[in-house]
Amino acid sequence: MVVNTLLMGTKFRFSFSLLALVGGLMMGLSGAHKNTNTNNFKVNMPTTKTNADTAIDTMDFLNDLRSKYGHQPTFLQSVEEMAVSLEPFFSDPEKGDFYKRAFVMMAEPERSISFRVPWMDDTGEMRFNRGWRVEFNSALGPYKGGLRFHPTVDEGILKFLGFEQMFKNALTGLPMGGGKGGSDFNPKGKSDAEVRRFCQGFMTELARYIGPSTDVPAGDIGVGGREIGYMYGQYKKLTNRHGEGVLTGKSLLFGGSPFRPEATGFGLVYIAKIAMEKKSGLSLKGTRCAVSGSGNVAQYASKKLMELGAKVVTMSDSNGVLYFDEGMTEEDWKEVIEAKQVKRSRLETIESKVSGRYIPNESPWSLDLKYDFAFPCATQNEIDGEAAETLCANGLLGLFEGANLPTTLEGQEAIRAHSNVIYIPGKASNAGGVGVSGFEMSQNAQHLQWKPEEVDAKLQELMQNIYNKMDSAGKDVTLEQGANRAGFLTLTTAMQELGWMY
End-to-end CA distance of the chain: 58
CA 177 from chain center: how many Å? 16
Report, as residue numbers or ranges, the catalytic residues. 180
Cβ-in-10-Å burial (0-12, 13-18, 19+) of 227 comes to buried
Long-range contacts formed by 58-62: CB under 8 A, 24+ apart? 59/83, 59/87, 59/90, 61/90, 61/100, 61/103, 61/104, 62/104
Strand partners, 383: 407
What secondary structure, in 3-state letters, does 45-98 show?
CCCCCCHHHHHHHCCHHHHHHHHHCCCCHHHHHHHHHHHHHCHHHHCCCCCHHH
State how far the Cα of 109 lies from the Cα of 498, in Å rounded to an integer: 17
- Pairing type for strands 111-120 and 126-137 reads antiparallel
Distance between CA atoms of 489 and 472, rounded to whole angstroms? 13
Question: How far apart are the C-alpha atoms of 26 and 419, rounded to whole Å?
Answer: 44
- Cβ–Cβ < 8 Å for 474, 482: yes
Give the separation between CA 144 and CA 247, rounded to whole angstroms. 9
Give CA separation, 480 vs 85, 186, 366, 404, in Å. Answer: 8, 33, 24, 14
Contacts of 266 (CB under 8 A, 6+ apart): 259, 300, 301, 303, 304, 432, 456, 459
